[in-house]
């Protein structure tokens, strides 16, 4: 895409799929685009609105069980988004969004239902406690990225099929639930269980998505973000090396499960 044309970023159902501040992913993308003098327009789509079929980037965030169910009823009938992603438009899907784009996922009633099928992934439930806390992962699906960092709070897992690659290899946290992989990458879709928001905590991932449609971009130094990344990676290691973090994670997981937080 030419540098002087406008980049259209679609934020899908932010009032339903934005439980853990995932709207911040859209803000990170627009900030980093404008830092390079790249014109960008953010389009927030409500469930009762039709989404643009020819946008450049699509963002699908996380949500609690009820919100995910409401979003799913609308999303599966939203042909414009499905066509755009099938045609190769880049997409970031987080947590519940990850599950909605999968081949199958478990709904709030415990039934396995068909997802959009854009990821060769099946999302069921973790067999034990919720996955709650800091995550650190080394990139796999996009090898050019630096270490990934984020925050997880989910009961869902993700089992990848042969057509999907993990976004990262977990060094701290649970990620997809196997304690080994985190997220998935397939075609133009990047999916993850990481909040934070993930593009704020991992600006290189934001730049990767932008470069998919805008071409190579000049670096944007940001000492505040770099400092946050260093602090989060160090904190994850310190907590996991102590028994305090495991106790806190278990207590928080039981509390959020009782509240019916997002998968």
Residue positions annotated with a catalytic role: 95, 195
Say which residues have a Cβ less than 8 Å from residue 57's Cβ, sequence separation at least 6: 7, 8, 9, 10, 29, 89, 90, 91, 92, 209, 210, 212, 213
Q: How many other CB atoms are there within 10 angstroms of residue 50's CB atom?
A: 11
CA-to-CA distance for 145 and 96, rounded, in angstroms? 23
Nearest Cα residue to 116 out of 62, 68, 77, 149: 77
Q: Quickly list DSSP for 55-88.
A: -SEEEE----HHHHHHHHHHHTT-HHHHHHHHTT
Nearest Cα residue to 101 out of 171, 12, 27: 12
Question: Is the N-terminal amide bond of 197 cis, ω within 30° of 0?
Answer: yes
CA-to-CA distance for 84 and 12, rounded, in angstroms? 13
Strands (E) located in the chain? 7-12, 40-45, 57-60, 91-94, 102-106, 112-114, 119-123, 131-139, 148-154, 159-160, 168-172, 181-182, 184-186, 189-192
Nearest Cα residue to 17 out of 58, 77, 56: 58
Residues 193 and 158 sit within 8 Å (Cβ to Cβ): yes
């Amino acid at each position: 895409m030419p540098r002087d044309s406008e980049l259209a970023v679609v934020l899908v159902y932010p009032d339903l799929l934005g439980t853990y501040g995932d709207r911040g992913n859209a803000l990170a993308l627009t900030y980093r685009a404008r830092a390079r003098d790249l014109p960008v327009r953010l389009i927030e789509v409500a469930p009762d609105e039709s989404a643009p079929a020819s946008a450049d980037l699509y963002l699908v965030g996380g949500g609690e069980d009820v919100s995910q169910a409401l979003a799913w009823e609308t999303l599966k009938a939203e042909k414009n988004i499905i066509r755009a992603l099938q045609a190769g438009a880049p997409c970031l899907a987080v947590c519940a969004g990850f599950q909605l784009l999968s081949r199958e996922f478990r709904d709030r009633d415990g039934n396995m239902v068909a997802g959009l099928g854009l990821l060769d992934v099946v999302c069921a439930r973790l067999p034990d406690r919720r996955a709650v806390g800091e995550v650190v992962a080394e990139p796999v699906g996009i090898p050019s990225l630096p270490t990934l960092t984020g925050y997880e709070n989910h009961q869902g897992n993700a089992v990848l099929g042969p057509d999907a690659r993990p976004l990262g290899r977990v060094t701290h946290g649970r990620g997809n639930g196997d304690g080994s992989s985190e997220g998935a990458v397939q075609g133009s879709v990047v999916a993850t269980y990481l909040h934070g928001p993930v593009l704020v905590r991992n600006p290189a991932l934001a730049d990767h998505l932008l470069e998919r449609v805008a071409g190579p971009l000049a670096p944007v130094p940001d000492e505040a973000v770099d400092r946050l990344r260093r602090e989060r990676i160090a904190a994850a290691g310190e907590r996991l090396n102590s028994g305090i973090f495991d106790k806190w994670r278990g207590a928080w997981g039981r509390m959020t499960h009782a509240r019916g937080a997002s998968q």
